[in-house]
């Protein structure tokens, strides 16, 4: 199948500047390219050509950074590009409309890595249109699926969570021979020999919580003397600039009783080395994180994890088995308490780390991610072969535009009626019938809401007209009264018009 993958406008593919979405795409490409004709569209970068073919994948890069600029260039590319059967858009539902207009016959899949369906990101009309036009919405976590489903319940049949993955050959467990040489060298370079190293990996921004973690070191320092903290990351991808927040974190680090190493930006191809040098990993996110990919990297590296009950992060944590979850996320003491449990029990750390590695191998490899994506793409391919109209039927139900849904229901109404009256032996058919019966109820609800809205609109219009008419009558009545008073009073003429006065 001829597939176009559209990345976001911020960072290029491959992920030479970092980026979770860019890493996700890059991790899945090696296997996907073997079965599909792939083109990846991303933002231009001074260190990458505007167009190239690498390992049978075509890369096209256009100016972006701002969405409206990127959107214009995406449209321009599609206007002259070959026809794609499937266009897979990452994390930008606002691109669905221009892509649909430029490629009216293409199937569209949307992958969501953030809460981009909230009102400050997209209008309700744009969101509804995007949901209508895509065949599937892949989410990086159950949490992100909920953020879409709650305001837009019509999206539910199209939602599917596909957790991200990690390179198991690059991120190796700290107890492996491959990690040992990397670990020893990095620890020696940064005077970390004999220390229990706590690792933070992420941007140095307030929502990532690095300051909370550094303040927790003051608590840990009261009980542990052989501990060090490593803050791996910068203010933004590939940007080592010093913001007020970065300066604040560094000032906290300078006063910490526990040594704190700040690495600045680390090339994405080298970050596995710091995981190999660590003993445990902390994700102190303060915001509703979709699901930070650092969890996968930590598990693959055989590190026990301390994370926060924010967004999708807890979805990959089995409490007390591969990690611990902090509920009181703004409280440094809460982190110190959980870290103390691990630092005081090396055997527990080892067991958690080994179990995390096992989970990474079983659930979070790129091979598994590719299998899940291919399953979605194969479903799309079946829709193409069956010539099913865009936006109407998908695996789990009907998602036709509102004006077509009643027609679609009428076409299958006899099956729905059958499900009410006659038993069906075939289990697959029974499932379909049950779904159709449920769909009939959904559509009835849609019709009822539509009629209710129309009744409300007509009622409001009537009340508005009656109010306007009453107001006009009141004004006319007042004017009439005033006019009578003027004539009744009949004031004398001004002196300069009275000849007797003159």
pLDDT (tens digit per residue) in 422-460: 333 344 444 454 455 555 555 555 565 666 666 667 766
* Mean of pLDDT over the chain: 86
Give the pLDDT of residue 496. Answer: 40
149-157 long-range Cβ contacts below 8 angstroms, 24+ apart: 151/117, 151/118, 151/124, 151/127, 152/117, 152/127, 152/128, 154/128, 154/399, 155/131, 157/394, 157/396, 157/397, 157/398, 157/399
Q: What pLDDT is stored for residue 166 in this prediction?
A: 98
Using 50, 70 and 90 to split pLDDT, how confident is the model at 83? very high
pLDDT-based confidence at residue 470 (cuts at 50, 70, 90): low
Domain boundaries, the chain: 2-161, 177-364
pLDDT tens digits along 192-222: 999 999 999 999 999 999 999 999 999 999 9
- What is residue 388's predicted lDDT score, i.e. its pLDDT? 86
Q: What is the DSSP string of 278-303?
A: -SEEEE---S--S--THHHHHHHTT-
The continuous run of DSSP H or E covering 59 comes out as strand 57-62
40-69: average pLDDT: 97
Does residue 417 surpass a pLDDT of 60? Answer: no
Strand partners, 41: 6, 60
Q: How confident is the model at residue 407 (pLDDT cuts 50, 70, 90)?
A: very low
Tens digits of residue pLDDT in 29-42: 999 999 999 999 99
pLDDT at residue 494, as a whole number: 44
Helix (H, G, I), strand (E, B) or coil at 43: strand
Residue 467 clears pLDDT 50, i.e. is over it: yes
pLDDT at 144 over 60: yes
Architecture label for domain 2-161:
3-Layer(aba) Sandwich (3.40)
Both structure tokens of 210: 């690095």
Nearest to 399 by CA among 445, 360, 443, 340: 443
Specify the pLDDT at position 469: 64
Predicted local confidence at residue 240, as pLDDT: 82
Residue that has been written with the tokens 């550094």 in this structure: 214
Report CA dihedral (146, 147, 150, 154) to the nearest 10 degrees.
Answer: -80
Q: Can 2-161 and 177-364 be said to share one CATH topology?
A: yes
Q: Please state whether 109 falls in left (phi above 0), alpha (psi between -120 and 50) or beta.
A: beta
pLDDT in tens, 120-136: 999 999 999 999 999 99
Paired with 139 in beta bridges are 112, 161
> At 38, which helix (H) or strand (E)?
strand 37-43
Give how far Cα 85 sits from Cα of 103, 313, 398, 466, Å: 9, 34, 21, 55
Tens of pLDDT, residue by residue over 328-381, are 999 999 999 999 999 999 999 999 999 999 999 999 999 999 999 999 999 999
Could you say which of 3.40.50.2000, 3.40.1410.10, 3.30.470.10, 3.40.50.10300 is the CATH number of the domain covering 177-364?
3.40.50.2000
Residue 65 region by backbone torsions, left for phi larger than 0, else alpha for psi between -120 and 50, else beta: left
pLDDT(502) > 90: no
Does residue 394 contact residue 135 with C-beta atoms inside 8 Å? yes
């Amino acid at each position: 199948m001829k597939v176009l993958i559209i990345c976001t406008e911020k960072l290029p593919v491959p992920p030479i500047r970092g980026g979770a979405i860019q890493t996700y795409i890059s991790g899945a490409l090696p296997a996907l390219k073997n079965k599909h004709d792939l083109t990846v569209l991303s933002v231009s970068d001074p260190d990458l050509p505007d167009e190239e073919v690498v390992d049978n994948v075509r890369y096209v890069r256009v100016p972006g950074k701002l969405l409206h600029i990127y959107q214009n260039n995406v449209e321009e590319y599609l206007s002259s590009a070959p026809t794609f059967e499937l266009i897979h858009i990452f994390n930008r539902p606002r691109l669905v409309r221009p892509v649909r207009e430029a490629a009216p016959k293409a199937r569209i899949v949307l992958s969501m890595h953030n809460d981009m369906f909230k009102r400050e990101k997209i209008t309700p009309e744009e969101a509804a249109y995007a949901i209508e036009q895509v065949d599937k919405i892949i989410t990086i976590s159950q949490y992100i699926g909920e953020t879409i489903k709650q305001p837009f319940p019509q999206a539910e049949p199209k939602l599917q969570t596909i957790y991200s993955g990690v390179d198991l050959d690059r991120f190796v467990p700290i107890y492996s021979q491959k990690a040992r040489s990397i670990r020893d060298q990095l620890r020696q370079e940064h005077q970390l020999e004999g220390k229990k190293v706590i690792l933070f990996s992420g941007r140095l921004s307030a929502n990532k919580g690095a300051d909370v973690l550094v303040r927790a070191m003051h608590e840990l320092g009261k009980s542990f003397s052989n501990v060090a903290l490593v803050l791996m990351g910068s203010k933004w991808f590939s940007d080592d600039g010093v913001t007020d927040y970065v300066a604040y974190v560094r000032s906290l680090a300078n006063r910490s009783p526990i040594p704190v190493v700040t690495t600045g930006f680390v090339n994405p191809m080298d970050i596995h080395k710091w995981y190999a040098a660590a003993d445990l990993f902390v994700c102190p996110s303060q915001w509703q994180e979709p699901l930070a990919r650092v969890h996968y990297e930590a598990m693959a590296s055989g590190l026990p994890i301390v994370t926060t009950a924010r967004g999708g992060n807890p979805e990959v944590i089995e409490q007390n088995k591969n990690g611990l979850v902090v509920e009181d996320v703004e409280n440094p003491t809460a982190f110190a308490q959980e870290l103390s449990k691990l630092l005081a029990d090396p055997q527990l750390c080892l067991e958690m780390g080994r179990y995390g590695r096992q989970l990474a191998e079983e659930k979070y490899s790129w091979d598994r991610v590719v299998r899940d994506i291919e399953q979605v793409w194969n479903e799309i391919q079946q829709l193409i072969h069956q010539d099913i109209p865009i936006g109407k039927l998908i695996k789990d139900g009907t998602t036709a535009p509102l004006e077509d849904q009643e027609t679609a229901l009428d076409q299958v109404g006899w099956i729905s009626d059958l499900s009410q009256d006659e038993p069906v032996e075939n289990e697959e058919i029974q499932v379909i019938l049950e779904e159709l019966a449920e769909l009939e109820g959904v559509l009835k609800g849609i019709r009822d809401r539509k009629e209710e809205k129309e009744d409300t609109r007509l009622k409001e219009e009537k009340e508005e007209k009656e109010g306007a008419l009453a107001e006009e009558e009141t004004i006319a009545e007042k004017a009439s009264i005033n006019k009578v008073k003027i004539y009744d009073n009949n004031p004398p003429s001004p002196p300069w018009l009275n000849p007797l006065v003159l």
